[in-house]
Amino acid sequence: MSRTAAIYFEPEGYSISRPNIMGRNAAGYGFLRALFRYSQASEHTAICATKDHAVVFDSMARENGSTKPTRSMARDDTKSLTEIGCMFVPGPGLGQMAFERSFVRPDAWSICGVTHTILSDRVMNTLTAAVTEPVEEWDAIICTSHVVREAIETVFEAEEERLRRRLGAKRFIRPQFPIIPLGVHADDFTSLAPRRDLVRERLGIAKDEVVILFVGRLSFHAKAHPYAMYQALNEISAHHKICLIESGYFYNDFIRDSFNELHSAIAPRVKRIIIDGRSKDASFDAWSAADIFCSLSVIYQ
């Protein structure tokens, strides 16, 4: 059997069709597309809670061009997991899976998770708990940037120091923290250039305007605060005609009004267009029209 992993599959974590799509949904969907396209394994294996989930997994494989068979297994199928050797979970929390593995043996299989947002209290608590959970050195939490890894290491160090002072603890086991930035399906964007002039004309963008594109949830508390972006673009607009496209969605009217008020106060010279990023066609319009992509959600090094 080629080296592979059993994918812990809940459709919500890999779907981009839900009303309030988040980055983790898009990342999970992109990951599965890559798996179905490039995996050299003889079959695609998913850990599914229901038969319906297995049907969705198989359907996604077919939609993404895979002709390989799919296989579903139960979460407690320890024999199959031991044979495969690795379980992939679409988040940073390894603890519960590690506890379940401990009833077999610690090295029966590895568990591999991945970070998405790390700033919520729920995620921080999950990472802190991992210090005392039966996570092993052959497990891993994939970090999407150097900054993410540094943040996770800081959390682990702080909790380990607390346990040293509180309990006199001396031995700690950490999982690995490999850095693997999120991938991009580049061929999705090959059709953008021919649409550029048409889309810009439809959006009312002049030929001499420089279009800056932000893509993501428009949420100042859960994604990225726009202040620094507005401030920088307003300064640049003193020398260039700037048009900002924000492709995403607002959770509610309060957040939308807050963005509008901040833009008026900080970047009055910057032309601004809001596009509903949940629409595939509208999202590709935004990409087609843009000159520069800007995201302050995370800093890659």
Distance (Å, rounded) from C-alpha 39 to C-alpha 34? Answer: 8
pLDDT at 300: 41
Per-residue pLDDT of the chain (301 residues; tens, 9 = 90+): 456 899 999 998 888 877 777 778 888 999 999 999 999 889 999 999 999 999 999 999 999 999 999 999 999 999 999 999 999 999 999 999 999 999 999 999 999 999 987 877 888 999 999 999 999 999 999 999 898 999 999 999 999 999 999 999 999 999 999 999 988 888 888 878 888 999 999 999 999 999 999 998 888 877 788 999 999 999 999 999 999 999 999 989 999 999 999 999 999 999 999 999 888 888 889 999 999 999 876 544 4
With 0-12 / 13-18 / 19 or more C-beta atoms within 10 angstroms meaning exposed / middle / buried, residue 147 is middle
| Dist CA 128 CA 162 (whole Å) | 11
Pairing of strands 292-293, 210-215: parallel
In whole angstroms, what is the distance from residue 125 CA to residue 115 CA?
Answer: 14
Burial 167-193 (b: 16+ CB within 10 A, else e): eeeeeeebbebeeeebeeeeeeeeebe
Q: Which DSSP helix (H) or strand (E) runs through 158?
A: helix 146-167
The model's pTM is 0.82
pLDDT at 63 (0 to 100)? 92
pLDDT at position 301: 40
Burial of 252 (0-12, 13-18, 19+ CB in 10 A): exposed
Query: How many CB atoms within 10 Å of residue 84?
Result: 21
Q: How many residues does the chain have?
A: 301
User: How many whole angstroms separate alpha carbon 160 and alpha carbon 223?
Assistant: 28
Q: How far are the Cα atoms of 100, 154, 170 from residue 164, in angstroms, in the given order?
A: 27, 15, 6
Domains defined for the chain, CATH in brackets: 6-167 (3.40.50), 190-293 (3.40.50.2000)
Query: In angstroms, rounded to a whole number, what is the distance separating the alpha carbons of residues 78 and 93?
Result: 19
Buried b or exposed e, range 91-127, using 16+ CB within 10 angstroms:
bbbbbebbebbeeeeeeebbbbbbbbbbeeeebeebb
Neighbouring-strand partners of residue 45: 6, 71
- Which pLDDT score, from 0 to 100, does residue 299 have? 46
